[in-house]
Amino acid sequence: MITSIELGDFLSHTNTNLNFDNGVTVFVGHNGAGKSSIIDGITFALFGQHTRKSNKGLIKRGSTQGFAKVNFTVNGKFYEAVRKIDSKGTLSATFSEIIGDERVEIAAGERKQFGESMTQEVEKAIGLDFEKLKVASIVQQGELNAIINAKPKEFKELLNAIIGIDKLDVASESMKIVNKEFRQNIREKIGYDDTHIEILSRDLEINQKEIEEATPHKNQLETKQEKLQREVEELREKVEIETPKIDKINQLELRKKELIEYAKEAIHEIQREISENERKIHDCEGCFETASQKQDLESKIQKVEQAVEDTSNKIQEIKSQIASLQEKQLLASKLKLKDNKCPVCDSNVEKLNPLFQEEHLKEELASLQEQIVSKQNEYQMYNQKRKEFTEKLQSARDAEATLRAHSISSKQQLEKIQEDVKTKKQNIEKIPRTNGTNLLEISQIDSHAKTIFDNILKLELETKGFDEKEFLNLKKLVNEKQIELSQMDQQIGAILEKISKGNEQVKVIENAISELIVVKEFVTNLDEIQNNIFSRDGPVATSLRSWALNAISAKASEYLTLLNTKIQRIQLAEKARDISIICNSKTEELDLESLSGGEKVSVALALRLGMASLLGASNLNLMILDEPTTHLDVERKKSLVGVLSQLSNISNTDTPMQFIIITHDAEIFEDSTVEQIYKFESSEQGSTVALLN
């Protein structure tokens, strides 16, 4: 049950605290006094749900944030649910179990992506979600007697909604979609559905016939292929004997070109080395002298920077002295002696301290100004020297970088490169021109050129007497036979591919037909399910309604016994497409229209409690009646009060129930046995709530 509710700047409530016991609690007050806000406070704290247009609408006007807190018990455990909302729409929530004086947090917030949900934990604790709570525990305005005033067909639709049978139409449509999507999935998977079985059977026969016709043609081509293959192999043996000679002729020409190209590359490489070394010599001239000044320049820069810093500090020190003397000068102007008397204490003074004599201070200030000018000149001079030394240092570093880039570490290394350039220039003049006419002369360049020339002489000897024309004719004949063999291979390959694809297609079609037979059986079963099980008036729905009617009837009869009416039993019965309400006393069946106003209210309330039990109001055991007197005449209102007064007895059963009654008819409870009555009033500061004795 709910033990307390606290609302802070929530809707019309500035600061409202309500405590509850088992049995009946009544909220009375005029419309707009904030009674129904309690329902929003309960559902917001528990589930984050409410009847307002937006979350921001829950905050009391003029406030920046609001909250709702609900304390309740379930199975002997105490819980607290709190949700807050600020003007920016930011939500925060905590759900805790209260153990003694401590709060043990169970969940916070609704971070479902991290598996955290306060609402889910609340639902788990009380045994129902928000939608079930609305049907099982909250009876809105005018809905109490609506359950017995409804037409039999309307009452059946209400029962269908309660136990979910109204979803059968949705389920039936879903089954059609399932059937359609199932066929679509089958088509996507194997390319067909159960409507294609006959077409596939015809395709299977066609493929099997094509395979039978292609096999003899394949065998004939394979015989011709073997004969042609032997001819090609004999010709290839002859070609293989002569092939090395044509290869050597080709190698001979390649070696001649290689020798000429090598000679050109050798000359080019020497010229490139000369050019590269000349560039090194040019770049490194004078670098050793410039780089040698680096260490001395770094030392000078360090000394100059220290001098700059010292001069800057001295200028700052003098400026501070000037500021101090200027303050003393201002004070000295106010401490002039008059008749050798102190202007402050009027005592005789023979002579002022020089620090208070204006003339002395002026002289000191003038001296300090001269010192500043002198130091500023020094500062500029040191800055200029620093700039000069820095530029020279950069030149020294550049020279050092140039030597490092060319990997030159000493003057002797540079001189050696100069000698090497001179020697290579002399050698290049001795190399013969590579015009290709005198290979013997070119071979004298170096040992590698000599080796290439020796290979040329050897190849000329090995290819002597070779007839290239006869060899090309032999090779041409081999190519012609090979083309013929390739064409035959393609023909055989095409037939083999046709047979292979035919076999694959036969296998695919056979598998598809096999699967589609199962599919057809499954689709037939789906159709039977759709046509039989999901009918609103079929055996499943009828059986489920019968069970629900018996469960509600039994539970409602139990509550009627506690309400002390002449009605002993309620029986809900289904007839054709309607559901009727049958009331029985000890001796006879009672017509619903013959019942008094109080008895009708009792029947309606008992049925509500029975439905709540069916839905599983279970753990919370709470029912809220919002304005149950709406549209009732005076007699029926009094009858309702009589029934509500008896609800305290229900709360004393093994499973206590808690009832919250919201009404604007305060006067009807004046002579009732209900003890816990809260009066709601509206004021400029918001809703005020007081407990009436």
Among residues 396, 216, 178, 363, which one has the least CA distance to residue 295? 396
Domain boundaries, the chain: 1-127+665-693
pTM of the model: 0.47
Say yes or no to pLDDT of 530 above 60.
yes
Residue 434 has pLDDT above 70, yes or no: no
DSSP tag of 666: G
Question: Quick check: 78 and 102 in contact, CB under 8 A?
Answer: no
Cβ proximity of 618 and 128 under 8 Å: yes
β-strand partners of 107 = 95
Pairwise CA distance, residues 12 & 28, whole Å: 16
Tell me if residue 304 falls in helix, strand or coil.
helix
Question: DSSP code of 629?
Answer: T
Bridge partners of residue 576, in order along the sequence: none
CA distance 529 to 509: 29
- What separation in angstroms does the CA of 152 have from each of 342, 491, 560? 116, 82, 21
Residue pLDDT, tens place only, 592-604: 778 877 777 778 7
Stretch 499-507: mean pLDDT? 87
Greatest mean pLDDT among 35-49, 189-203, 437-451, 574-588: 35-49
Confidence at residue 617, expressed as pLDDT on a 0 to 100 scale: 47
Alpha-carbon distance of 185 to 193, in angstroms, equals: 9
Note the pLDDT tens digit of each residue in 69-83.
999 998 889 999 999
pLDDT of residue 549: 85
Q: Which parts of 450-522 are beta strand (E)? A: none
What is the rounded CA–CA span in Å between residue 641 and residue 629? 9
Instruction: Classify domain 1-127+665-693 by CATH number.
Output: 3.40.50.300
Q: Report the SS3 class of residue 207.
A: helix
Range 617-626 average pLDDT: 72
Q: What pLDDT is recorded for position 114? A: 56
User: Could you tell me if 28 and 34 are in contact, meaning their C-beta atoms sit under 8 angstroms apart?
Assistant: no
| Rg of the chain, C-alpha, whole Å | 55
Of the spans 10-19, 145-154, 541-550, 635-644, which averages the highest pLDDT? 10-19
- What pLDDT does residue 354 have? 60
Residues 305/311/316/319 CA torsion (nearest 10 deg): -160
Q: Which two tokens stand for residue 308?
A: 């700059």
Question: Tens of pLDDT along 316-340?
Answer: 998 898 888 888 878 777 666 555 5
Instruction: Please choose, from the candidates 291, 289, 290, 285, the residue with its C-alpha nearest in 3D space to the C-alpha of residue 418.
Output: 285
Q: How many CB atoms lie within 10 A of CB 64?
A: 10
342: left (phi over 0), alpha (psi -120 to 50) or beta: beta
